[in-house]
Structure 1
């Protein structure tokens, strides 16, 4: 870590920060987050802002004051206005407080995308607790390990996950946040309750912080890392203290107030969590589904006419496969398709722009740095593989192993600085490297002469084959554009001849092009595009790639390579 405590840089940073705050008023004003309102709404907004700042609980109070009768949520349970949403969040906070949940206690949420997640999010902020977002895609062993490590004081859990908890689970009180059938409560074990009953039986007295002059503790949200290589770590997220985090995103993505937004990305993940906060700030009608289905998503677009769809790349690919032609679905309302979570294959970028028009925005980021760069439709039309540029208030730097900046075009380690960097992991000794207030993302990449970022891959994914540095993602990008390849993943493996070599895992399309794919054919194709070190030593054909809940391939779940010859699995 390097620091500079001399007065000049400190003054420069303060001046830059003040200038960015002023510039940040523009995007949130254009989007409608800030705007004129009547005296009553202004009073309620000021009250919420004073007590909860720009936390989701504060943003909800502002939205309920400005647009009480506007629909806030449409989910599998029906619809809910902002006034109703705000009242239910208050009731849940009171019920938690009545159950002896105090500031600094930790509340866990193991939930799909539905109102229960959002109610828990806003209730926690009004109490000053910490919130731990558990991964619905994790194994029972991983989930119980995280619950023990995070020392939860209360747990909200959907019915479909209750079997994960051992029969003698007694670490903390439990409430079922979603019941498949509210007439059948057999999953609610003795001593448990449900979120619905908590809200229904909440005491009438208010909770700490309700008085005008009292401000509860600013709790933390703990988001788990992807866990693609082991037990997920908890990353402590700061709470926004100003409009700048929203302004950074809105400076690059044209979001607008009071428009329907389909939140398909998993809410427990950094991207999905951010989309919920942005949507509440915009007083959007948030459309949620507990389970993603491409055909259902297309029906949502036709029935609810969303202005924005927030998703991850695998969801986008499935939607394109479900409706490949423009006339298949009326998507004229769509102005923004915002994707994040993993790289979008080049052919998916091109098909999206052709199918839906210039509406695709690809955000690169991580649990630790939130957002890093954003590529808009013009960037992606010109350079489909770019990760874009840093938005307002964000610093990007490419550095070598010694921490020195490298010239444009040279691959190095990616460092990001913004107002929402994580505050360290809950597990000691695992924190990311920080240089000049910027956090290392763990990725390698380069910036071209136009200022666009390109991500080459994870630091630990790069292999050395025959003395050459090789990035598996380059081969992935080439293979993903080949007819017959539905999706693919490329990883490094030990090799007796070259030290390391690439292994390709390929899912074929259900047509003649897919049936015609062979290991040798794939090798010959890659040879025409890249160096010989990028050519996969082995190809393993799969029915599907093992992915986590946000669409990232889980390397440890891929079959072991068989040897030096191509194989079919």
Structure 2
């Protein structure tokens, strides 16, 4: 194994106490660089502008009723854009911040119960883990102090938003954005009650457009590329990779549509669209259909090469504890829910979905030829860094 470097404590201990004072302030303006998650491709470094001021906070609070001095429990990793933003908002609002070394759903509930007014910043998979706790464990903790549960970093799967609000009240806010574009839209509890899959509406001073490949705006309920602009502009990639900009708005890399109510829906990554037999298939629609099967706890759908159709859909399924299901039953059910060409031909049952440290499903790992048992079950290598927290 590779030799480990010094710990943070060792670096601090080895640094003379007067070094910072004698060096004086830095001569150049600092920059924050965030790494994109790289769930479908290679991670890239994104440069963030210095000293953004309080305007970004004003935009966030135009849709999320954050309050000064309310305790903020930040479960989203601080190296992730959402966790880092939460910490900055806590500083600006003079709010006590509660941090845990690793995410544990029961620990989160204990933290909520131990404070008077709490806001929790998390990623969607953490909500799933809280709801998976035994009912007696959830009931043992008083969650009445929870004022806001703000999530970001991945799409809310299936009816997760509805199930969470039924359990903990209408306190859920879903923030859609990206490392490059920052925030794009925010769904309030009212929006999520209207449709639990929505990404909501743009907050204050945020522009949003759905464009076709020629850069033209598309009509309502028509899928296109999501472009957005706000008060925290992206300054470019550290590696010099190109970025797509139209009318001052940056491409998020996602496909989406705006419905007749003005609500945004994210349909998936632009590079994750599957073309099977000449038909465009949005994997998220198939994932939502799979999640309506009671025995299925989690599902991910990707396109894999096919000699006849160009691509075909492969579904990776995690069953709920104690549940049993076979591939033919899954195919028959999905056939009734989606178009014939959108039904997955490959159905694989796996013990867990591969996730990165921010809780996002890493779709490129799904197609990395994992070992498959004779029973059709797929076993991933240990994913120590792949669990949220």
Matches within 5 A, 1:373-412: 373-412=185-224
Q: What is the deviation of 1:233?
A: 1.1
Cα distance in 2, alignment partners of residues 238 and 319 from structure 1: 35
Which structure features the higher share of helix residues? 1
Partner of residue 360 from structure 2, selected from 552, 556, 568: 552
Residue aligning to 1:434: 245
Residue aligning to 1:249: 60
Cα distance in 1, alignment partners of residues 237 and 276 from structure 2: 33
Residue aligning to 2:168: 356
Residue aligning to 2:104: 293
Q: What is the deviation of 1:259?
A: 1.2
Name the SS for the 2:251 alignment partner: strand
Residue aligning to 1:446: 257
Contact map agreement 1:305 1:331 (CA 8 A) in 2: no
Name the SS for the 2:132 alignment partner: helix
Q: Taking structure 1 as reference, are residues 350 and 324 closer, same or farther at Cα in structure 2, changes over 3 Å only?
A: farther
Residue aligning to 1:510: 321
Residue aligning to 1:23: none
Partner of residue 24 from structure 2, selected from 208, 215, 219: 208
Report the TM-score, using the length of structure 1 for normalisation: 0.62
Cα distance in 1, alignment partners of residues 52 and 105 from structure 2: 36
Matches within 5 A, 1:114-125: none
Residue aligning to 2:385: none
Contact map agreement 1:539 1:568 (CA 8 A) in 2: no
Name the SS for the 1:346 alignment partner: coil
Contact map agreement 1:275 1:310 (CA 8 A) in 2: yes
Residue aligning to 2:278: 467
Partner of residue 12 from structure 2, selected from 195, 200, 212: 195
Cα distance in 2, alignment partners of residues 375 and 204 from structure 1: 43
Contact map agreement 1:519 1:567 (CA 8 A) in 2: no
Larger gyration radius, structure 1 or structure 2: 1
Alignment of 1:366 onto 2:178? yes
Q: What is the deviation of 1:520?
A: 1.0
Residue aligning to 1:158: none
Cα distance in 2, alignment partners of residues 366 and 253 from structure 1: 18
Q: Taking structure 1 as reference, are residues 323 and 338 closer, same or farther at Cα in structure 2, changes over 3 Å only?
A: farther
Partner of residue 47 from structure 2, selected from 236, 239, 252: 236
Q: What is the deviation of 1:202?
A: 3.5
Contact map agreement 2:52 2:232 (CA 8 A) in 1: no
Partner of residue 344 from structure 1, selected from 145, 156, 165: 156
Q: Taking structure 1 as reference, are residues 484 and 243 closer, same or farther at Cα in structure 2, changes over 3 Å only?
A: same
Cα distance in 1, alignment partners of residues 326 and 20 from structure 2: 68
Name the SS for the 1:299 alignment partner: helix
Q: What is the deviation of 1:481?
A: 2.8
Q: What is the deviation of 1:323?
A: 4.9
Which structure features the higher share of strand residues? 2
Contact map agreement 2:159 2:197 (CA 8 A) in 1: no
Matches within 5 A, 1:79-228: 163=3, 176-178=7-9, 193-195=10-12, 198=15, 201-202=17-18, 205=21, 208-209=24-25, 217-228=28-39
Query: Which whole-Å deviations, capped at 9, do the CAs of 1:304-337 have from their partners, x for residues lacking one?
Result: 3451000001111101111547634211011100
Alignment of 1:520 onto 2:315? no
**Greater than 6 Å deviation, 4+ residue runs:** none
Cα distance in 2, alignment partners of residues 204 and 489 from structure 1: 49
Residue aligning to 2:133: 322
Cα distance in 2, alignment partners of residues 549 and 312 from structure 1: 11
Cα distance in 1, alignment partners of residues 194 and 303 from structure 2: 30
Structure 1 unmatched runs, 5+: 1-139, 141-161, 166-174, 179-192, 210-214
Report the TM-score, using the length of structure 2 for normalisation: 0.90
Q: Taking structure 1 as reference, are residues 177 and 452 closer, same or farther at Cα in structure 2, changes over 3 Å only?
A: same
Contact map agreement 2:124 2:156 (CA 8 A) in 1: yes
